[in-house]
């Protein structure tokens, strides 16, 4: 039974949705001790469907997306990555590769920073939608794939996971990351 990564919370636990649509909680690992070459990284965490890929295509010299960097282009690869990132050595290796590949670019991610090996200080901002607006936004954006795969309840829970976090910028339906980040 495979788990699907649910990027909903920066709390101490990470929620996964398995193929039977039941939820399982995993405790997030402690951040890694960053080496000097990793200290320059800045993260922007943004909920799926808000335009990370679009922003990356427009300004690839300024941004890097962890999904693209990890080669995640389908759910099977996302599942493999979410399993591998649980291993401390893999996280350290991924964080070092990410640091060497950023070359001053800002990292876009929908993953919890500690799962990438970074502390809260690396997070520049978070972008999310309020739950009802998120569903409306996904429909406007033509992201039926997310609605079909996860359902409204899970998608709304992703938004709820952002509520207690610092540095959250709430987007309105129909607005994208590129409207705020340049």
- Which domains are delineated in the chain? 3-172 (3.40.50)
Q: What does 63-103 look like in DSSP terms, one character per residue?
A: EEEHHHHTT--SHHHHHHHHHHTTSHHHHHHHHHHHHHHHT
Q: What pLDDT does 14 receive?
A: 37
* b/e map 29-61, b = 16+ CB within 10 Å: bebbebeeebeebebbbbbbbbbbeebbeeeee
Q: What pLDDT does 78 receive?
A: 73
Q: Is the pLDDT of residue 155 over 80?
A: yes
pTM of the full predicted structure? 0.72
Considering only residues 83 and 136, tell me which one the structure prediction assigns the higher pLDDT: 136
């Amino acid at each position: 039974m495979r788990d699907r990564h649910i990027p909903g919370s920066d709390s101490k636990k990470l929620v996964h949705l398995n193929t039977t649509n039941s939820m399982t909680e995993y405790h997030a690992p402690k951040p890694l001790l960053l080496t000097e070459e990793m200290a320059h990284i800045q993260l922007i965490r943004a909920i799926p469907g808000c335009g990370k890929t679009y922003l990356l295509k427009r300004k690839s010299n300024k941004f890097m997306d962890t999904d693209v960097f990890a080669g995640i282009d389908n759910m099977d690869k996302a599942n493999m990555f979410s399993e591998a990132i649980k291993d401390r050595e893999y996280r350290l290796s991924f964080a070092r590769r990410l640091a060497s590949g950023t070359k001053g670019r800002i990292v876009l991610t929908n993953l919890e920073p500690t799962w990438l090996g970074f502390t809260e200080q690396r997070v520049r901002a978070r972008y999310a939608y309020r739950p009802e607006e998120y569903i409306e936004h996904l429909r406007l954006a033509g992201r039926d794939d997310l609605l079909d795969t996860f359902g409204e309840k899970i998608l709304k829970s992703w938004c709820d996971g952002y509520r207690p976090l610092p540095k959250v910028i709430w987007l309105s339906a129909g607005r994208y990351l590129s409207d705020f980040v340049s």
